[in-house]
Amino acid sequence: MISINWEGKDKFISNIEKRKQYFSNIFKNITSCLDNSITNERYTKCSIKNWNRKLFWGNNIEIIYYLLNFLKDKIDLVYIDPPFFTRSNYKIQINEDKNLYEDIAYYDTWNKDINSYLQMLYKRLFLIKSLLSEKGLIFVHLDWHANHYVKIILDEIFGTENFINSIVWYYYNKYSAGKMQLPRAHDDILVYSKTKHYSLNEIRVLRKKPIKQLKRINVNGTLKNLKDRYGKVIYRTVKDKKIDDVWKIPCLQPASKHWLGYPTQKHPKLLERIIKLGSNENDLIADFFCGSGTTLITAERLGRKWIGSDISKYAIYLTRKMLLNHYEEFENLNNKNLELWAHLDEEKKKIINSNFFKKELKIQRIK
Ligand SMILES: C[S@@+](CC[C@H](N)C(=O)[O-])C[C@H]1O[C@@H](n2cnc3c(N)ncnc32)[C@H](O)[C@@H]1O
């Protein structure tokens, strides 16, 4: 078995219990802080019973350590869309009251060192496995930059026997320049289960053209062709088919009603398929690199419970805004139902006290 090793790997594993303990009290519900000054910290005591609609702002390794204290074996589906090791940063332009400025939405440079990138992912994937329920599944979204190395990590952590699929997301509508290689038009989504006790729901899509298929019946566990009274096989017309592992789903475009302007924002159709395939109503879904919140809003729409996290204040800003708009429009919910959790360090306090989350910002990614 091939494994990824680095100096400090053993220490990481032997320190997990200590780190889990250390972070057990660090995160607090700061929802009410957003509407008040936080000079006399208005932390709410955590309610462990209701694990739904919780958005965490911070470094996800700390959040995962924190959650290990409450949600071991409890999360049914994890989707992660981490930075891909593109070695560049993702910039945005912010329009605040017609005042334009640029900032970085998130970083993906790693000092151009694949080792530090892989160590970062290894630690998170290792810990996430403990959060998954017995029937739990993980979907890890990557592309050609690091996909092949991460497959080795996933095989090591989850076991080759628990590898389910490498889904190809074929985005036919994205312009891809480059004369020295073929246009790159797909991402890879690696799917693993925690144990053998998982199931995938059947999803069917319309065929381009209906086809004729032999009608078959199950006789004592074996499929047999059905015949008419003259002994001729019977056909039926089939308009749809079960999805396979190549998914033709467009990239989100600025003209879409779902567009929020966040770099690498995914299409809700992609998340809808993943969530419908790997979970059922009321299951708990988590996305620890949630960006603009595509997984969370899709989970909400599909009646799943969810937990999300991101380190970027812009990601948290957009995710909150979109979810609150959704609650206002469709559900009898308000901003109390959406809890923002964080470890309030000085930097975060400053951001909150500047009323960042109450501002009307228009955000556009810069290519
Ligand atoms: C590819 S984007 C996710 C896009 C998202 N799927 C969407 O549809 O908008 C990756 C996200 O991971 C976040 N991220 C990177 N490192 C992180 C960390 N250590 N903890 C939490 N979030 C992190 C970035 O801020 C960024 O928003």
Give phi and psi for 95, each to the nearest 5.
-110, 110
Which pair of tokens denotes residue 31? 């929802």
Contact criterion met (CB below 8 Å) for 216 and 208 = no
Place of tokens 């900032």: 103
pLDDT at residue 42, rounded to an integer:
54
The finding on whether 59 has its CB within 6 A of some atom of ligand 1 is yes
Contact criterion met (CB below 8 Å) for 130 and 68 = yes
pLDDT tens string 39-61: 545 555 555 568 999 999 999 99
pLDDT tens string 303-318: 999 999 999 999 999 9
The finding on whether 81 has its CB within 6 A of some atom of ligand 1 is yes
CA distances from 98 to 81, 121, 366 (A): 32, 39, 17
Element (H, E) at 169: strand 163-170
**Interval between CA 311 and ligand 1 midpoint (Å):** 7
The answer on pLDDT for 205 being more than 60 is yes
pLDDT tens string 272-294: 999 999 999 999 999 999 999 99
pLDDT at residue 176, rounded to an integer:
75
* Nearest Cα residue to atom 5 of ligand 1: 291
* Ligand 1: nearest atom to the Cα of 292: 9
**Interval between CA 338 and ligand 1 midpoint (Å):** 19
The finding on whether 316 has its CB within 6 A of some atom of ligand 1 is no
The finding on whether 264 has its CB within 6 A of some atom of ligand 1 is yes
> How high does pLDDT run on average in the chain?
94
Q: How far apart are CA 131 and CA 72, in angstroms?
A: 4
Contact criterion met (CB below 8 Å) for 125 and 93 = no
The answer on pLDDT for 213 being more than 70 is yes
For helices 294-301 and 313-330, angle between their N-to-C axes, nearest 10 degrees: 20
Q: How far apart are CA 309 and CA 188, in angstroms?
A: 22
Domain boundaries, the chain: 9-202+243-366, 204-242
Fold assignment, 9-202+243-366: Rossmann fold (3.40.50)
For helices 147-158 and 114-131, angle between their N-to-C axes, nearest 10 degrees: 40
The finding on whether 119 has its CB within 6 A of some atom of ligand 1 is no
pLDDT tens string 216-259: 999 999 999 999 999 999 999 999 999 999 999 999 999 999 99
Contact criterion met (CB below 8 Å) for 127 and 151 = no
